[in-house]
Amino acid sequence: MYFQRRGQKLLVILGTIITMLFPTYSSEVASAPVQSQKTPQEQTQSVPASDEDTAISAGSAATNSSTLNNTKNTKGLTLSQLLHKYPETFKTSGPRNKVIALTFDDVPDPRFTPQLLNILKKYNVKATFFVVGSRAKKHPALVKRMIREGHAIGNHSYNHPQFVKLAMNDFQSQIIKTEDIIQTLAGYKPRLIRPPYGDISEQQLKWAKSHGYTLVNWNVDSLDWKGLSKNQVRNNILAHIGRGAIILQHGGGGPGSHLQGTIQALPEVITIMRKRGYTFVTVPQLLQVSKSK
């Protein structure tokens, strides 16, 4: 019994010594973080929801011109690299003359497009409208009015997807389906394509080049799709505009879109730039290319 008690005391003493020599071991074990595990349902809920209707979304995730040209698409090359590699096919501006081109994306939209057309007619300015095929099919009279009043038409896809996320067949279908609709309304297949969100892969660009298209982005971004005020839209344009500029604005948007800023700023932009000695032309005129293929 004596030795048994003495052994127990030795064990207690030994345990105390160990605790004193290695004080962090037990606390580390006790405080080690437990890896949280999400259920499949929780993981699904944490994934951001995609846009409900990209076909009529004004603007884009890529329309910030300060980052646009340096954004890598899924094929590896940045847009800036594509622009340098295919300078005759992919354009963001024209020759450095005192001419500029107004462009309007995501048309036709009966809420905004007629107001823009009224202003352009009043000031005798010809612009370029990049048409979404599904919208042209729904509002053909507005496309016909654009043509009748002397504006140029470009292809902006059928329902505004991000091209780099599409298989080649789907990408080609977006272009061909829209140009067939435009041909019915305008009498020609447009040479100009503006990729939704300004983004395209090299493989898609090669296909467009081989089929006689010209890709047109921009070098002045009004950022009007953000619902900016008249002064903000006007200042965004005037701060960056110059010789041969291609200006990005919107003539259509999604549910709840607010484009009054771009509508209200347009007369001032036209007046100010004319006073500076600039002439407004269509993109085909600016680039000296045919409006049709």
Are the C-beta atoms of 102 and 111 separated by less than 8 Å? no
Is residue 250 among the annotated active site residues? yes
Nearest C-alpha neighbor of 60 from the set 206, 222, 192: 222
Whether omega before 255 lies within 30 degrees of 0, making that bond cis, reads no
Count Cβ neighbours within 10 Å for each residue of 222-232 and write b for 16 or more, e otherwise. Answer: bbbbebbebeb
Catalytic residue among 139, 156, 160, 250, which? 250
Catalytic residue among 105, 109, 221, 224, which? 105
- State whether residue 260 is helix, strand or coil: helix
Nearest C-alpha neighbor of 237 from the set 209, 273, 202: 273
Are the C-beta atoms of 194 and 156 separated by less than 8 Å? yes
**Catalytic amino acids?**
105, 250
